[in-house]
Structure 1
Amino acid sequence: MTGERIELAVHDHGGDGPPLLLLHGAGRTLADWAAVAPLLVARHRVLAVDLRGHGRSPEGTWSLPEVLADLERVLEQYDIPHALPVGHSLGGMLAVLHASRHPDVTPGAVNLDGYGWGRPDQYVGLDPAYVEQRLLRVRKLAHSRFGLPLPADGLRELLAQQRATSARLGIPYELLEAGAVRSLRERPDGTLDVGPERQHAREMLAAIDSLDLFALFRDTPVPQLIGRALRPGPAIHGMEWFDALMAAYARGLARDLARLAEERPDVTIAEIDGTHAMLLENPKGVADAVLDFTSTAIPGPAV
């Protein structure tokens, strides 16, 4: 069914200043903001949401107009239509899309490491045909993440993976555990899997692929903060080709972001010490970048 109304799960972190709406990435939940949000509330009213099909929010068909309408309803319910959206990964893309739809009331947008898989020409030093071939495999792997039931000992294995990630990246285990548990969804047959549901996940990934993000960045007529992770993700054993692919993409992103900043003086590029998991690895670095941006993007004594 299209046009269905989704009431999103919301965590109101409080605060009295200009409002911010925090948006997580694909397959993640509002728990990703647990360490960042407390650093923002001294100067902002802060809400975080679970996107449809994620965390505690209901499932629903996944299209960009519907997902953006979900966010608009949250802002209406809390009477903060002028909130500045702050998103990570997929959430960052949605933040800019929301601002592009409401430039009259939205003072700006923050996109933290939300670029999708980009264009083949952005993979500097690699043949575009090779990149296309590898991205087909990457997309297939991405599709396989969602909608498969956990085996009998799946939860134990999932939490063991979080402990390994904690040790490898220095992220407090409690943050990883909370996010992993919140991402689990119980299906009618009693099995657990990681949301969103498989068909909705396919719709979500197709929506991401449909975006021309650098055109969106250029055309959105409000100030933007665009964050980029300075460090690559952990190497994946047996997938050295993926590490090389991401290194080439990082070079292309750095090039294209520099050009964007030259074209748009109101676009700020922030290089954040961390991997794509920056919200959990370096919450202070993320919060500092956001607060520096809002101090100029949002006028008024509160910031």
Structure 2
Amino acid sequence: MHAASALGIVGERPVGALIDSGRPTSCGAASRHFSSVPVPASPIPLSGIRTPLFKLHRKCARRARRRSLIRCSTYCVPPAVKPPWTIPAVVRHIADTLDAHGVPEAVVVGHSLGGVVAVEYARANPGRARAAVNLDGFWWGREYPGADRVSEGLLASAGTIAPPECIEEKVVNSARFGIPADRAAATARAAARPLPDGTWQTLPERAEALEIFDELNRIFALGVTPWLDEVDFPLLLVQAGRQLPPAPGMEWFGEFSARFAQGVSEELATLTRTRPTITVNRIDATHLMNMETPEAVATLVAGFVRGLPG
């Protein structure tokens, strides 16, 4: 799971909302960071802050009428309003944003951390969330074997200074997954802050990453099944069918990811036997599914939404 992700919302009115689930803003502060772009009428796959979101929308726009997308970058927070990053604060921010734009009911769709937020928003707002879609948003608890080593590695890269050529390096690396260069470059730029000397600072910074990890460790302390125990709304869970190949020297992380993914698969298979409102799908892609196969993910999500009651 990436440390910062996005949440997409399509409401009953002709409007959608995309909210980067990084640091939440107050409703007043958020209003300064909105812009509108076309999106299809049905929910489409939205990914982490490292993804060129608008290009994904154009990939799927052939399917349906166009609507407006409201985008709020929660990293663009005025210094005076920077509360700690917590899931409840993000959920409140989403509700305030939808209120401000007159969206009474929505289907929330999130990828990675955004998928976790989508579930938590629907849980906290049963009268306003028609359903939720979680695209590969799962986490290991603090006590999960190997979790400390993974967290240390993720924190070590948070807020670091990268050389000017890091964007080009990420584009080359993304080509291994069939991700077009323009999409990969936009993703890389969205995940870092340009500095005056031509270098880049990676996002989120360490303090915010710690806040995000603390929230995830709290939510998933007992595992995926307990997290979803009281979910009674329509929920689509999409799991990546393939693992990202580990970087040289990181083979241990590949083993960790494969073991964790297998455990999640087993939990979800057991869960769906007794939970009719929960649907589980696996897709032939890695965690970067919304960049690798945006059409396939969009089709899967749109089909789920079309099948909702009412």
Question: d(CA) in 2 for partners of 1:221 and 1:244?
Answer: 33
Question: d(CA) in 2 for partners of 1:11 and 1:30?
Answer: 17
Q: Does 1:227 align with 2:248?
A: no
1:108 match: secondary structure: strand
Instruction: Look up the match of 2:202.
Output: 194
Q: In 2, are the aligned partners of 1:11 and 1:47 still within 8 Å (CA)?
A: yes
TM-score, normalization: structure 1?
0.80
The answer to which of 253-262 and 290-299 deviates more is 290-299
Q: Does 1:174 align with 2:197?
A: no
| Matched AA of 2:303 | D
Q: Does 1:250 align with 2:261?
A: yes
Number of corresponding residues: 278
Question: d(CA) in 2 for partners of 1:233 and 1:298?
Answer: 36
1:202-221 pair list within 5 angstroms = 202-212=210-220, 213-221=224-232
Deviation at 1:138, TM superposition (A): 0.4
Deviation at 1:173, TM superposition (A): 1.0
Q: Does 1:47 align with 2:69?
A: yes
Deviation at 1:157, TM superposition (A): 2.3
1:87-166 pair list within 5 angstroms = 87-118=110-141, 132=145, 134-150=146-162, 154-166=163-175
Instruction: Look up the match of 2:307.
Output: 296
The runs of 5 or more residues in structure 2 that have no matched partner are 1-22
CA change 1:92–1:43 in 2 (3 A) is farther
Deviation at 1:190, TM superposition (A): 9.0
Q: In 1, are the aligned partners of 2:142 and 2:217 still within 8 Å (CA)?
A: no
Q: In 1, are the aligned partners of 2:24 and 2:74 still within 8 Å (CA)?
A: no
The runs of 5 or more residues in structure 1 that have no matched partner are 121-130
Instruction: Look up the match of 1:34.
Output: 55
| Matched AA of 1:183 | A
CA change 1:190–1:175 in 2 (3 A) is closer
Q: In 1, are the aligned partners of 2:131 and 2:233 still within 8 Å (CA)?
A: yes
Q: In 2, are the aligned partners of 1:226 and 1:268 still within 8 Å (CA)?
A: yes
Deviation at 1:162, TM superposition (A): 2.0
1:287 match: secondary structure: helix
CA change 1:245–1:294 in 2 (3 A) is same
Q: In 2, are the aligned partners of 1:218 and 1:264 still within 8 Å (CA)?
A: no
CA change 1:135–1:160 in 2 (3 A) is same
Deviation at 1:216, TM superposition (A): 3.2
RMSD: 2.9
2:270 match: secondary structure: helix
More strand by share: 2
CA change 1:289–1:50 in 2 (3 A) is same
1:111 match: secondary structure: strand
Deviation at 1:68, TM superposition (A): 1.4
Q: In 1, are the aligned partners of 2:39 and 2:57 still within 8 Å (CA)?
A: no
2:130 match: secondary structure: coil
1:297 match: secondary structure: coil
Deviation at 1:217, TM superposition (A): 2.3
The answer to which of 36-45 and 232-241 deviates more is 36-45
Deviation at 1:23, TM superposition (A): 5.4
| Matched AA of 1:136 | D
CA change 1:234–1:256 in 2 (3 A) is same
CA change 1:22–1:62 in 2 (3 A) is farther
